[in-house]
Amino acid sequence: MCRNKLNITLSALACLLICLSTKLKAQVHPAGYEAALKLLKLKEYRVAIGKNDTIYFLTTVPDKKKKTIVFCQGSGPVPLVINPKDGLCGVFPFRVDSATRREFNIVIISKPGLKRYATDADLNAESMKRGQYLQLDSMNRPPQKYTDNNKIYKLGGDCIEVIKFLKKQPWVDKDNIYIYGHSQGAVVAAYVAAKAPQDIKKVIYSQGNAYGVYAGYLSAIIFNEQSVSDVNKKMDSIYHLHSSLMDGKANKEMAERYQWKEADMTDKKNNDFYDLCYGGWRSLEEPTAIDYLLKINCPILLVQGLNSPSDMDNKNIPLDFARHHKHNLTTLFYPGYDHNFFKAVTDDKGNPKVPEFHWDDVFGDVKKWLLHLR
């Protein structure tokens, strides 16, 4: 499909634990990081934390004082700016047009341990064949620094530091800073708003499983498995695994228990526990996001595609808010949309067609909510 003279392709990975933001891909290949930022109309800033840590982030080129959206990415080892030979990828999963730029600053933070700028040489070749742009080695492992820092207190803490920096800038309306998180980023956004309530005017919580990774596993099993025996076998397995972990048994024992090999890491039939072994299972689990959400008093927009098996439990968020006598939640539910806002479509004969991509539509509705237009 074509939009604004850019040939756009879609790259999305949605599974139970890893969700990569979809990339917009133009058929241009700028020479280097600075040229890419110029083409994308973005500017890089950095915030030093102590002597050994620096947070890097991008923002739409600032001019006048404006409302600011801090966008928190979904999970996965995805570099910030991706520039393969076949075309520069967009940084955001939605289109940032001129009208949006006039109304908002849009900010995105680089993930710790990943490259801010990546070309083909920095990306896993096998993942690129699948249309995914991941910073993985030949064993499908992300950089160790990324794994070590893929934790709620680090991701959320970096975001809080960036917001402190933003509030000091003349081009930021410090009374109108919004935090918008998708998938894992939604959990980060909830954490930030709960920990720094004085800094956040509104929260957009998009497709983050509010009840934890395990709840997502269980929901997806119920949704996808047809056999009674298969459902109960998997449910029982995950129940006992979770119990074992909660009793203090750690990743080393799990790795020994499942004897992971390179082939298993990308085998969809066998990877139920892959990320629990290698992804830091506790990092975004305790407390779960619902605990953070219930502490937030500013307005919250819950964005949910209803054809997203691992996020099925989010339908209970409004019930939890009602049970706690909280009245700051607005829902935006989309029938037929999946985790990354794709919608299955068929031709006149019922044959599947290329799924429709609706990130821009969702972002348009989010902007209307932020501006009190819906």
> Is 144 found in the same domain as 70?
yes
Check which CATH number belongs to the domain holding 20 and give it: 3.40.50.1820
> Is 248 found in the same domain as 194?
no
Of 302, 304, 310, 307, the closest CA to residue 356 belongs to 307
> Is 220 found in the same domain as 190?
no
> Is 144 found in the same domain as 181?
yes
Range of the domain at 69: 2-212+287-370
> Is 246 found in the same domain as 193?
no
> Is 303 found in the same domain as 172?
yes
Q: How far apart are CA 347 and CA 178, in angstroms?
A: 40
> Is 225 found in the same domain as 205?
no
pTM confidence score: 0.84
pLDDT(113) > 70:
yes
pLDDT(172) > 70:
yes
> Is 191 found in the same domain as 54?
yes
> Is 194 found in the same domain as 138?
yes
Of 117, 108, 114, the closest CA to residue 163 belongs to 108
From 228, 253, 278, give the residue that closes a domain: 278
Question: What per-residue confidence (pLDDT) applies to 175?
Answer: 97
Between 143 and 284, where is the model more confident?
Answer: 143
Reported confidence tier of residue 75, pLDDT bands at 50, 70, 90: confident
From 260, 278, 296, give the residue that closes a domain: 278
> Is 25 found in the same domain as 107?
yes
Question: What per-residue confidence (pLDDT) applies to 22?
Answer: 40
pLDDT(20) > 80:
no
Mean pLDDT of 27-47: 92
Domains in the chain, number:
2
Q: Which parts of 139-235 are beta strand (E)?
A: 172-182, 202-206
Instruction: Please write the tens of the pLDDT for every residue from 360-369.
Output: 999 999 999 9
From 254, 278, 302, give the residue that closes a domain: 278
Distances (CA, A) of 235 to 5, 29, 221: 48, 47, 7
Question: What per-residue confidence (pLDDT) applies to 126?
Answer: 85
Question: What per-residue confidence (pLDDT) applies to 230?
Answer: 79
DSSP string, 107-146: EEEPPTTS-SEE-GGGS-HHHHHTT------TTS---HHH
